[in-house]
Structure 1
């Protein structure tokens, strides 16, 4: 029995962008666009009403922007969708704020259709959409000069959990981490769950942000 298609909501203040995204997504049998929004406030309302699996959220919109909309959606729903913020520039400070707010990752507006489709499917299955170099640079800009003091949770990580978190920050999936460390997928899943609990994170993206802000990873590019 085939699975129902993944349900997607598009939030962008440019109608042309929403139309282009809809055409790409609706050409796939496993994806369907169930709603659209032209600003952040409408996005919050539409998402709460339609409960999609994934939201493609423009980061810069009039009124309530994508960051605030992301916060409101995640705070106001028991089972919120996975949110991917869409931006023009990967080094946009808004992107980092959106990731800190709980977005599962970000995607560039100039991304190829294949990358867009892969991103929707990736976050829908629980993985994070991260670009390690960009996140490292954004973290460096956010933290400013000097390395942040180590958060209390850093000392509570086991050696293997620390290895897993470093690989998560490198953008590796559970399967890739499993192969890199030579352990089973279920073992990796157990370690990831422990990392999320110890860092107080909702998902992998939040854990990576915590790793930079908590002094576990060097925030400076090239660090």
Structure 2
């Protein structure tokens, strides 16, 4: 059985969720709380598998603060945020605090049940629009600064990228690093694929922007 703790400041909402979850064969509601501080106390007492946490609770401690504290106290308990906000700001903050996922209050009952089952096994769950927003944010960040892509380059690829920026030809790079021209070309092809670039000038421009003339060799 998946033991669930409900946290929401609206008694009617908690009642509806209680009826829904208790009707499932593999779920049981072990307790309820109306604000964050109460949720922290009850979670420590009841040791639930999943906490269904309302994001916005105007009275007492809010859902994000409670989630952050609970993940420190009960790292093995999974927290699923229930929110009416389809906004990436809330989504990112929820994930940063340690939540395993987010479900919209407007989502179908079947989606909520699936989300609870998913996070109870250690998986993350995001509603479809949230997944799209995360991908757009990540790709936008990569496009703007490329910092994440640079970190996936191997040390050898960084060396070769630096030498390309300094104007060395493939043969000269091979002689300097004591590797074959074919190996240089392979590394160059790999780093271009990782950086999503097609030409040498693009590599040079990228290396200059990353300050690689002062890197390594």
What is the RMSD of the two structures over their aligned residues, measured on CA atoms?
Answer: 2.5
TM-score normalised to structure 1 length? 0.60
The runs of at least 4 consecutive aligned structure 1 residues that moved more than 6 Å come to 143-146
- Which structure has more relative contact order (CA 8 Å, sep 6+)? It is 1
1:72 is aligned to 69
SS in 1 for 2:51: strand
Q: Say which structure is richer in helix.
A: 2
Contact 1:59-1:95 within 8 A present in 2 as well = no
Q: How many residues align?
A: 150
SS in 1 for 2:113: helix
Contact 2:88-2:130 within 8 A present in 1 as well = no
Gap change, CA 1:146 and 1:56, over 3 Å in 2? same
Contact 2:104-2:127 within 8 A present in 1 as well = no
Contact 2:91-2:130 within 8 A present in 1 as well = no
- Superposition map of 1:1-223 within 5 A: 5-62=1-58, 63-77=60-74, 79-91=75-87, 93-131=89-127, 133-137=129-133, 140=137, 147-151=144-148, 154-155=152-153
Give the C-alpha shift of residue 19 in structure 1: 0.6
| Unpaired segments ≥5 residues, structure 1 | 157-223
Gap change, CA 1:32 and 1:118, over 3 Å in 2? same
Q: Which string of whole-angstrom CA distances, capped at 9 and with x for unpartnered residues, describes residues 104-143 of structure 1? A: 11001111111111111111111110246424536739x8
How far, CA to CA, are the matches of 1:153 and 1:15 in structure 2?
48
| Unpaired segments ≥5 residues, structure 2 | 155-217
Larger CA Rg, structure 1 vs 2: 2
Q: Which string of whole-angstrom CA distances, capped at 9 and with x for unpartnered residues, describes residues 79-117 of structure 1? A: 431111011122152232011111111001111111111
TM-score normalised to structure 2 length? 0.62
Q: Which string of whole-angstrom CA distances, capped at 9 and with x for unpartnered residues, describes residues 3-23 of structure 1? A: xx1100000001111111000
SS in 2 for 1:57: strand
Q: Which string of whole-angstrom CA distances, capped at 9 and with x for unpartnered residues, describes residues 187-207 of structure 1? A: xxxxxxxxxxxxxxxxxxxxx
